Structure 1
Amino acid sequence: MQKFDSIRPYYDTEVNEGIRSCLHHPMMKAIMNFTFPDMADDEWKSQLSRTHSIRDFQCNFLYHSIQQVLKKSSDGLTTSGFEKLEKNTSYLFISNHRDIILDTSLLNVSLFEHGLVMTASAIGDNLVKKDFLLKLSKLNRNFLVQRGLPPKELLLSSKLMSEYIGQLLLRENRSVWIAQREGRTKDGNDATHTGVLKMLGMGSDEKHLMDYFKKIKIVPVSISYEYDPTDALKMPQLMAEAKAEIYVKEKNEDFITLLSGIIGQKKRIHIHVGDVLNKEIDTLAVENDNANKQIQALAQAIDDSILQSYKLWPTNYIAYDLLHKTNTYSAHYTSDEKSLFERRLEMKIDMTNPLMVEGFLAMYANPVVNKSKYENQR
C-alpha cells in the first residue's frame, strides 16, 4: 500500500530500524530516564534494540512513560464506558481535544488495560517537523494530517487520509482516534466540525453515506482535565481571536505546548467513551435525505454524547462562579479548592487585563454552561 507511505506510521518490519536510529538521541535518553529512573542506560538500550513491533514498543515502553506522567503530574486517571466495547473490534473514536499528546495516549492506556484494540491516531505534521519526533510518532502508530496546504492539495490530502482511515478500520481491524475538529479546543467549547465528517466520508464506497458511518462504528470520546496544563499557553491565541486579529505562532510554540502538556499539573483526569452511534445514525438517516443535513445532524449527535458525559471538576464550577460573580455552584467545591484555583489564576495570567481574566475563566466555565443545557432538558 505505497500510496499511504507519506502519512502512515511504521510497519512492524520497519520498527527495529526506526528504534536503532533514535537509540542515542538525547531525547530518547531523557524519555527513558524519566520512564525507568532506576534502570541503567545500557539496559533500556538493550531492551529497545530487541523491539520489533509497535505493540511491543507501546506496551513495554510508552505505557510505562504515561504511567510516570500520571504519577508525577496528576492525581490519577479514571474511566467509564469501556466495558461496553467489544474485544478484537475496531472503532472510530471521535474525541474532544485538550492536549496534543496525552488525549490519545491516555485513551490507548485505557484501551490496553481493558484488553481492547488500541488506536492509530491522527497528528498534525506541524507537530513532528523534527526528525526524532517524526520517528517517535511513527513508533506510536500516529498517522500524519498534512496542514497548511493550498485548496487543491488539501482536497487530495483529505481523500488520502480518509482512504487510509477506512483501510485501518475495515481491513486491518485497527481502531482510529481523531479529534472532533482541527487543533485543540482553546475556549472549552467542544464542537464537532462538519469538515472532519466530510473528510471521513470521502473514503466511502457505500451508496448512502450514513451506511458507511454505521460500518466504521463511531464512538464519541469525552476527556476532561481538572487543571488544563496548557491553559495559560492558550491565552495569546484566545486574546488575538477576541480582538479579531490573526494569530501567528512563535517558532517553538507547538513543542513548548507539547512538553507543558506532559509535565504540567493536571490533578484529576477522566475519560468517558460513549455508545456506538448506530441508533442515532439510523434516526437521522430517516429524518433527513439531504447529505449535508445528515452530516450536521451527526455532528450534533457526537456533540450531544461528548458534552453530556463530560466530567465536570470543582475548577469548572469555581470558574463559572468567579466569571459570573455568583455562588450558584458553591456546593460543588470547597473554600480551599477555590483559593487554590484563584492562586493559579493570579500566577498564570496578567490580572490587570480584564479580557485575559475573562478568557481564562471562560475556558474552565464553558463546559458547565454546555453541560447544563442537557441537565435542563431532563
Structure 2
Amino acid sequence: MQDFEDIRFYKDEEVEEALRQYVKHPMVKALLQFTFPEKEFSEIEELVIQCRSIRDFQTRVIYHSVDMVLEKSTEGLTYSGFDSLEEDQSYFFISNHRDIILDTSLLNYTLYDHNLVMTASAIGDNLVKKPFLLALSKLNRNFLVLRGLGPREMLKSSLKLSEYIRKLLFQDKRSVWMAQREGRTKDGSDHTQQGVLKMIAMGKKDLSLCEYFSKLKIVPVAISYEFDPTDILKMPEIMAKRMKETYVKSANEDFNSIMQGALGQKGRIHISACGLMEDKIFSDIEAQQISVNDQLKVVAEKIDQKIYENYMLWPANYIAYDLLNNHEKYASKYSDKQKRQFERRLMRRVDLKNALEVNSYLLMYANPVVNKEGLYESKS
C-alpha cells in the first residue's frame, strides 16, 4: 500500500486547524475580503473557521471567490456538455491548460452548479512553494505533482501519482482533474503529452492500457478564454523558445501569473465537457494491435480532437488568424470595431517593429483556429 502523505490534500479533520492557522495571513485575508467585500473581517473569520470539511470551504468560500472573479474580470461564463454527465459518478477530466488556478476552479464551479462530483486536482509543487499557497491548495483538494526530480525519483513519483489517481477514482469515488500537459499552454496550441498519459497508465495493474483507460471514464475538457490576461507574461518564455535560448523563470513569476490570471480582464469564458470517451474508442485502438507507445499517441490525438472540436473560438482568435495571414478569410466573424480593439491590444503589448514578437503574439490567439481547421481538414 503506497504512502501518499507527501502529495495528498487535507483530510476533513485537518481543515479547521489549517483555516485557523492561515485565516489572518495577509494574502489569505486579502482573498477573503475580495470574496466578501460587504462583510467585516470578524464576520468573515467566523464564517471561515466554521468550515469543517473541504466541501464546506469550497462551497461556502471558494465558490463565492470564483463568483467575484467572474463578476469583476469577465463578461460571463458559459458552458456546454455537463448535462450529459451523471450525478454521483466520478470522472477523469483531462483539460487544456491556460491558467494556473482558474482552469480547475471554473470546472469545479460548473460541476457544483450541475450537482456533479467535484474534482481532486493535480498541481505542480513548484507552484505552491509559499506555505499559504500550499495550505490553500490542500484546502481546495489539490494533490501535488512533484517536479525537478532525477530520473529514478521521477519514476517512483510517477508510479505513486498514478496509484493515487486510481485510488481517488475507484475507491474514493472522487473525480480527478489533470492538465493534458506539464505546464500551461503558452502559444495557444493545445496538445496532450504522451508522457502524461504514460504516467496515468502506470496504475493499470493487470489490465491492458486500453481496458484501464476505458474504466477511468475520461472526459476531455475545453476551456476557452476570450482574452488571456497573462498573455504578455507568457511572451518572454515564448520568445526564448523561438530564439532557441534557455528560459529561466523569475522568482515570483508563477505567483504573478496566478494574481494576473485571477484579476486581469478575460472577456468571455466558455467551458465545455467534451463527452465521455466511450469504451468503443479504446476497443478500436486495442484492435489495431499496435505498440503501447502508439496506443498512447492515438489516445492523445483523440483527446486533442475532442478539445479542438469543442473549443469556443472568439472574434479575437479569428482576427489574429487573419492578421497573421494578411487576409480577411474570417472577416464575417468579427466587426471593424472588434478588429480595432484587438489591434490596440496588440500595440500595447508588443513591439510592433519586432516581427517575431508580433508573430508570436498573434499565434497565441490564432493557433486555436489553426487546430480547428486541421480537425475539419482531416475529416474531409
- Residues 121, 176 of structure 1: 8 Å contact kept: yes
Give the deviation of 1:289 after TM superposition: 4.0
Give the deviation of 1:374 after TM superposition: 2.4
Structure 1: gaps spanning 5 or more residues: none
Moved more, 262-271 or 291-300: 291-300
Partner of 1:174: 174
- Aligned ranges for residues 155-304 of structure 1 at < 5 Å? 155-278=155-278, 279-304=280-305
Partner of 1:81: 81
Q: Distance in 2 between matches of 1:46 and 1:233?
A: 37
Describe the SS at the equivalent of 1:222.
Answer: strand
Give the deviation of 1:47 after TM superposition: 1.1
Moved more, 20-29 or 58-67: 20-29
Q: Distance in 1 between matches of 2:286 and 2:111?
A: 30
Matched, 1:20 2:20: yes
Q: TM-score, normalised by structure 2?
A: 0.98
Give the deviation of 1:301 after TM superposition: 0.6
- Residues 93, 176 of structure 1: 8 Å contact kept: yes
Describe the SS at the equivalent of 1:111.
Answer: helix
Q: Distance in 1 between matches of 2:110 and 2:92?
A: 15
- Residues 165, 176 of structure 1: 8 Å contact kept: yes
> Counterpart amino acid of 1:36?
F
Give the deviation of 1:2 after TM superposition: 7.2
**Aligned-pair RMSD on alpha carbons?**
1.0
> Counterpart amino acid of 1:151?
P
- Residues 95, 179 of structure 2: 8 Å contact kept: yes
Partner of 2:357: 356
CA deviations on 1:151-180 (whole Å, 9 max, x unpaired) are 111111111111000000010000000000
Partner of 1:336: 337
CA deviations on 1:214-245 (whole Å, 9 max, x unpaired) are 11111100001000111111110110010111
Describe the SS at the equivalent of 2:206.
Answer: coil
> Counterpart amino acid of 2:49?
S
Q: TM-score, normalised by structure 1?
A: 0.98
Give the deviation of 1:206 after TM superposition: 2.9
> Counterpart amino acid of 2:335?
T
- Residues 90, 174 of structure 1: 8 Å contact kept: yes
Partner of 2:320: 319
Give the deviation of 1:290 after TM superposition: 2.1
- Residues 189, 370 of structure 1: 8 Å contact kept: yes
Q: Distance in 2 between matches of 1:183 and 1:15?
A: 28
Moved over 4 A (4+): none
Paired-residue identity, %: 55
Q: Distance in 2 between matches of 1:288 and 1:231?
A: 42
CA deviations on 1:8-29 (whole Å, 9 max, x unpaired) are 1000010001111101111121
Partner of 2:54: 54
Q: Distance in 1 between matches of 2:116 and 2:38?
A: 30
> Counterpart amino acid of 2:50?
R
Residues matched between the structures, number: 378
CA deviations on 1:61-105 (whole Å, 9 max, x unpaired) are 000000000000000000000011010000000000000000000
- Residues 220, 275 of structure 2: 8 Å contact kept: yes
CA deviations on 1:110-129 (whole Å, 9 max, x unpaired) are 00000000000001111100
- Residues 206, 212 of structure 1: 8 Å contact kept: no
CA deviations on 1:255-304 (whole Å, 9 max, x unpaired) are 00111100011000001111211221121111234222111111111011
Partner of 1:134: 134
Partner of 2:374: 373
Describe the SS at the equivalent of 2:3.
Answer: helix
Describe the SS at the equivalent of 1:224.
Answer: strand
Partner of 1:63: 63
Q: Distance in 2 between matches of 1:60 and 1:110?
A: 15
Q: Distance in 2 between matches of 1:122 and 1:352?
A: 40
Partner of 1:309: 310
Q: Distance in 1 between matches of 2:71 and 2:157?
A: 39
Moved more, 194-203 or 280-289: 280-289
Describe the SS at the equivalent of 2:305.
Answer: helix
- Residues 2, 160 of structure 2: 8 Å contact kept: no
CA deviations on 1:7-59 (whole Å, 9 max, x unpaired) are 01000010001111101111121011100100010001011111110001000
> Counterpart amino acid of 2:331?
S
Matched, 1:34 2:34: yes
Describe the SS at the equivalent of 2:268.
Answer: strand
